[in-house]
């Protein structure tokens, strides 16, 4: 589908390239599906998971949740900690996606949280971008911030960098995607003009797919979302094909080298039914409505409070949390004159 070539106001204000938030879920589903195929893959997946397993010290809202029997939530955290970024300890998140899983109807709700969302971070006096939570307090503070924002428990986390995106697609020998326009972009190492694509259906490698997914120079955020959805479908389609089964070992390695999680190998196996549901899997993608906000010369994304409350109820209902009441949705006035946190990394 050819999209209109319009420049987005947001693309001018956000100069840093972002990790593609939506890729994390397909990677996990590919990973756990492979865990159920064959003794070799099972053993390999278990070994990789042991390397990736990094629980953190935190007081869980639901410490005894059973992922095999209960509805659960997983926060996917994307961080650009590549060699180009010098693996900075205080890196900010480039992507946040909350996934809730309902066991009864085998459904998933995926909520993308804009990295510039203007929120309160526990322990901080002034509101600031949600992506600063990781710089201030790592995964633990990121989880706490999202829990406070959405009023739902976060049971598990998966943290990845965009090397996983590149490596998984390369492990699958590329994906077939319709490129909507001629494109010139930088690569993952910030080399200007390194990626050049022409309009049309073609096979893209990892670097090329990443450039197409994250560019903001050729259209707006709505069209960008459509491009991302098409790439997700292409990855899942390629991974599900019979010819890709022999490549699962490489996919597992690609994920394991770029992921940390507090999901144990046994807990990850609870997702196999979701991964193998195929066309019967009911997946709904949610977004947080909002508007542009400029404070002190810095850009923020001001969440719409009424829409946020509606999203909270949807997530709470999907998790079947006791006491969920959709009638409690109220519109809250927004004060855009507050002083934002003056962080030198703005």
What would the DSSP string read from start to end of 223-287? HHHHHHHHHHHHHHHHHHSGGGGGGHHHHHHHHHTTEEES--HHHHGGGHHHHT-GGG-EEEEEE
- Confidence at 10, pLDDT banded by 50, 70, 90: very low
Pick from 135, 124, 142, 79: which is nearest to 341 by CA? 124
State the average pLDDT for the chain.
76
What pLDDT is recorded for position 241? Answer: 66
What pLDDT is recorded for position 329? Answer: 37
* Distance, CA of 242 to CA of 217 (rounded, Å): 36
What pLDDT is recorded for position 82? Answer: 54
What pLDDT is recorded for position 119? Answer: 96
On whether residue 256 sits in a domain, the answer given is yes
Mean pLDDT confidence for 106-117? 85
Mean pLDDT confidence for 107-124? 88
Under a CB-based contact definition with an 8 Å cutoff, are residues 146 and 98 in contact?
A: yes
Which CATH number characterizes residue 89's domain?
3.30.420.590
On whether residue 115 sits in a domain, the answer given is yes
What confidence tens digit (pLDDT) does each residue in 241-252 have? Answer: 655 556 667 777
Residue 341 pLDDT greater than 60, yes or no:
no
Q: Who wins on pLDDT, 266 or 272?
A: 266
What pLDDT is recorded for position 339? Answer: 43
- Confidence at 330, pLDDT banded by 50, 70, 90: very low
What pLDDT is recorded for position 76? Answer: 86
- Using alpha carbons, list the distances in angstroms from residue 329 to 279, 291, 310, 312, 324: 33, 20, 6, 9, 11
Mean pLDDT confidence for 314-323? 88
Alpha carbon of residue 311 to chain centroid: 17
Q: Which helix (H) or strand (E) holds 128?
A: strand 128-129
On whether residue 178 sits in a domain, the answer given is no
Prediction pTM value? 0.74
What confidence tens digit (pLDDT) does each residue in 162-199 have? Answer: 777 788 888 888 999 999 999 999 887 778 889 999 99
Q: 33-42, 152-161, 275-284 — which is least confidently predicted? A: 33-42
* Distance, CA of 263 to CA of 270 (rounded, Å): 10
For the chain, the domain total comes to: 1
Q: Which helix (H) or strand (E) holds 108?
A: strand 107-113
What pLDDT is recorded for position 83? Answer: 54
What confidence tens digit (pLDDT) does each residue in 127-157 have? Answer: 999 989 999 999 999 999 999 999 999 999 9
Residue 15 pLDDT greater than 50, yes or no:
no
- Confidence at 90, pLDDT banded by 50, 70, 90: low
* Distance, CA of 32 to CA of 311 (rounded, Å): 28
On whether residue 201 sits in a domain, the answer given is no
Structural domain of 145: 50-163+249-321
On whether residue 257 sits in a domain, the answer given is yes
On whether residue 187 sits in a domain, the answer given is no
What pLDDT is recorded for position 324? Answer: 53
* Distance, CA of 151 to CA of 254 (rounded, Å): 33
Q: 5-9, 40-44, 318-322 — which is least confidently predicted? A: 5-9
- Confidence at 278, pLDDT banded by 50, 70, 90: low
Work out the percent of the chain whose per-residue pLDDT is above 70. Answer: 68
């Amino acid at each position: 589908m050819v999209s209109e070539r319009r420049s987005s106001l947001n693309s001018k204000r956000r100069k840093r390239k972002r990790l593609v938030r939506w890729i994390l879920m397909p990677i996990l589903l590919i990973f756990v599906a492979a865990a159920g195929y064959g003794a070799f893959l099972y053993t390999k997946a278990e070994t990789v998971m042991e390397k990736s397993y990094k629980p953190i010290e935190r007081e869980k809202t639901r410490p005894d949740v059973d992922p095999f029997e209960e509805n659960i939530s997983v926060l996917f955290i994307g961080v650009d900690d590549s060699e180009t970024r010098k693996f900075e300890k205080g890196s900010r998140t480039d992507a946040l996606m909350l996934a809730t899983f309902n066991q009864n109807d085998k459904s998933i709700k995926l909520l993308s949280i804009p990295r510039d969302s203007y929120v309160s971070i526990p322990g901080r006096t002034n509101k600031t971008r949600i992506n600063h939570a990781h710089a201030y307090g790592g995964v633990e503070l990121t989880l706490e911030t999202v829990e406070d924002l959405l009023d739902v428990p976060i049971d598990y986390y998966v943290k990845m960098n965009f090397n996983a995106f590149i490596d998984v697609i390369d492990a699958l020998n590329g994906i077939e995607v319709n490129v909507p326009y001629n494109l010139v972009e930088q690569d993952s190492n910030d080399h200007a003009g390194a990626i050049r694509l022409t309009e049309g259906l073609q096979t893209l490698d990892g670097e090329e797919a990443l450039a197409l997914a994250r560019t903001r120079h050729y259209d707006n955020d709505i069209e960008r979302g459509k491009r991302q959805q098409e790439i997700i479908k292409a990855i899942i389609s390629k991974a599900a094909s019979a010819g890709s089964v022999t490549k699962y070992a490489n996919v597992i390695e690609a994920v394991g080298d770029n992921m940390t999680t507090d999901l144990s190998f046994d807990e990850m196996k609870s997702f196999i039914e979701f991964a193998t549901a195929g066309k019967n899997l009911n997946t709904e993608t949610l977004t947080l409505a909002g508007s542009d906000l400029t404070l002190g010369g810095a850009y923020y994304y001001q969440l719409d409070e009424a829409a946020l409350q509606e999203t909270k109820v949807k997530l709470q209902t999907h998790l079947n949390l006791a006491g969920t009441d959709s009638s409690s949705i109220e519109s809250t006035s927004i004060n855009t004159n507050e002083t934002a946190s003056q962080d030198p990394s703005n």
